Amino acid sequence: MKRLENFVKKKFIYTEKNNFLKKLYFIFNKFIKKGNVKKSYSVGGIDLLLNYLYKNKFSGVYIDVGCNHPIDGNNTFLLYQKGWSGINVDLDSHAIKMFNYFRPKDYNTNIAVSNLEQKVDLFFYHERSAINTISKNVYNSRNKKIKEVKKIQATTLDSIIKNSPYSNKKINLLSIDVEGNELNVLKGFDLKKYYPEVIVIEYLDLVIEKLEFYNQNIDRIINSEIYKYLMNFNYHLVNWVHSDLVFVNNEIRN
């Protein structure tokens, strides 16, 4: 296919007056090259960025905390298709049932994640709601009525890894999206021990009235607790899509 493309391109360059070759070249670019279009499953295309970073790596380990759905809006599904596997965590039992069905190679668990193993308040809107949260600050910042406050058990990410098939594995990617409790998830995770190459983490700026990318403020991001915490572990902010921040460690920087 590449040879055909180069041949047509060369003929087009040197015979610009040849309408047949011009037409062939345009047809090639319109139809045949459609196969080069990359399909994204995550919100904002984070998975394409990750897939590009790991384009030559066909096995690896990810952890997705606040995984929500095994395919739609998911940051790790492209990697799963490539041959990766890992741990998916969500406090919604329906989400984990879907993961068990669609992604049986993964270790999927239904529990809340925080910095301590203890009972926490879940501000519950409804089943399958993506904005159910155990962060009181996030709940207080919203003008939405909850259905109830539930007492649920939370654990640490370290504990989840220890009890999984990945306890002694190298972790390449950590993705965290837990509606405002992201920093506590990090505090319950031994960054020095596992030191994942990439961390994708949601940053909710509670000052913003409407969370849209055009309302974000880089100054507040670099002054946030999440940013400072990860900088202390030698991570660097290298990309930013909507409310997702992408950090990498020094091991993969040239």
pLDDT tens-place values along the chain, 254 residues long = 555 555 555 554 444 556 766 676 666 666 655 556 678 999 889 999 999 999 999 999 999 999 999 999 999 999 999 999 999 999 999 999 999 999 999 999 999 999 999 999 999 998 888 889 999 998 888 888 888 999 999 999 999 999 999 999 999 999 999 999 999 999 999 999 999 999 999 999 888 877 777 888 899 999 999 999 999 999 999 999 988 999 999 888 87
Residue 150 forms part of a structural domain: no
CA torsion 43-240-91-98 (nearest 10°) is 30
* Helix axes of 19-30 and 2-14: crossing angle, nearest 10 degrees: 140
3-state SS record for 2-21: HHHHHHHHHHHHHCCCCHHH
Going 107 to 110 to 116 to 118, the CA torsion angle's sign is: negative
Residues 213 and 235 in one domain: yes
Residues 92 and 177 in one domain: yes
**pLDDT score of 2:** 56
Using alpha carbons, select from 96, 99, 105, 141 the residue that is nearest to residue 123. Answer: 141
**pLDDT score of 211:** 73
CATH number at residue 108: 3.40.50.150
Residue 103 forms part of a structural domain: yes
Residue 126 forms part of a structural domain: no
Residue 125 forms part of a structural domain: no
Measured CA distances, 9 to 32, 72, 148 (Å): 14, 37, 63
**pLDDT score of 142:** 85
Residues 28 and 64 in one domain: no
Which neighbouring-strand residues pair with 113?
A: 155
Domain containing 55 equals: 39-112+157-252
Residues 180 and 107 in one domain: yes
Residue 130 forms part of a structural domain: no
Residues 30 and 93 in one domain: no
Residues 18 and 56 in one domain: no
Residues 98 and 11 in one domain: no
Residues 77 and 171 in one domain: yes
Residues 25 and 82 in one domain: no
Provide the number of structural domains found in the chain: 2
Residues 12 and 60 in one domain: no
Residues 26 and 70 in one domain: no
Residue 137 forms part of a structural domain: no
Tokens coding 207: 């000052």
57 Cα distance to chain centroid: 17
Residue 144 forms part of a structural domain: no
Residues 74 and 164 in one domain: yes
Burial zone of 93 (CB within 10 Å; 0-12 exposed, 13-18 middle, 19+ buried): exposed
- Which residues have C-beta within 8 Å of that of residue 106, sequence separation ≥ 6? 80, 85, 86, 87, 88, 99
